[in-house]
Structure 1
């Protein structure tokens, strides 16, 4: 990566922070080249925001939910996860504490997945190794 990568933040929304048994995946509806692929909800951090502030804002905008954050899923790329040639992502485990998740902006479907069905959906390429790393975190 030549230019400084864009920081993206996302949540591994789970049913229980201490002993998760399922995670919430979101299917992209746009842009066209990403439509139909699945991802962790989140988005870019705005100027002046901390990553955590950006994540809370994105989850309200994208899913209409408030969450409690658990620990960060530290990635192998200087603590983050390289997801494209221009983007790095930081993720936190999260549990919904307010609202009912709805696909409001970037998504057209949400689905709770158990570890046995994590790969029943076509994840974005950059998210595949994150999903693989999550297996050991589930009951």
Structure 2
């Protein structure tokens, strides 16, 4: 199965959202995204997820990295896709909070394990030049 994570970076900060309590990753922070629907490409999936979860219209960029993880006996291929959006989310559908964090906080925050596997691809993008 395939899943996507949208990675949005502004001024050396990355956008994270905190899941509602409950389930395997309840209360954890994540790069927003989710499972690809049948016949759906990665870019289309990340656009849909941001629209459904935050009411945001985003622009999808390059895939910055891939990893895999297991959940409930199924193996998922996870693609991290760079996304751009203006402003802040008008609503939170599956999350209780969102915020922008720098590299130092990102490595310490209670991040979902599947998204932690993407840190080698994300952290180099947060370097201030």
Q: Please provide the CA RMSD for this pair.
A: 1.9
How many angstroms apart in 1 are the aligned matches of 2:118 and 2:91? 22
- Off by >6 Å, runs of 4+ in structure 1: none
What's the CA shift string for 1:67-114, capped at 9, x where partnerless? 122221122xxxxx10225222111111104x6325522211101001
User: TM-score, normalising length from structure 1?
Assistant: 0.78
Question: For the Cα contact (< 8 Å) 1:26–1:103, is it kept in 2?
Answer: no
Across the two proteins, how many residue pairs are aligned to each other?
124
Aligned to 1:83: 69
Aligned to 1:114: 102
CA-CA distance at 1:120 after TM superposition: 3.5
Aligned to 2:81: 92
Aligned to 2:3: 8
Matched, 1:38 2:62: no
Which ranges of structure 2 fall in alignment gaps of 5 or more residues?
A: none
How many angstroms apart in 1 are the aligned matches of 2:124 and 2:9? 14
Which ranges of structure 1 fall in alignment gaps of 5 or more residues?
A: 1-5, 76-80
How many angstroms apart in 2 are the aligned matches of 1:102 and 1:8? 24
User: TM-score, normalising length from structure 2?
Assistant: 0.84
SS in 1 for 2:25: coil
Question: For the Cα contact (< 8 Å) 1:103–1:110, is it kept in 2?
Answer: no
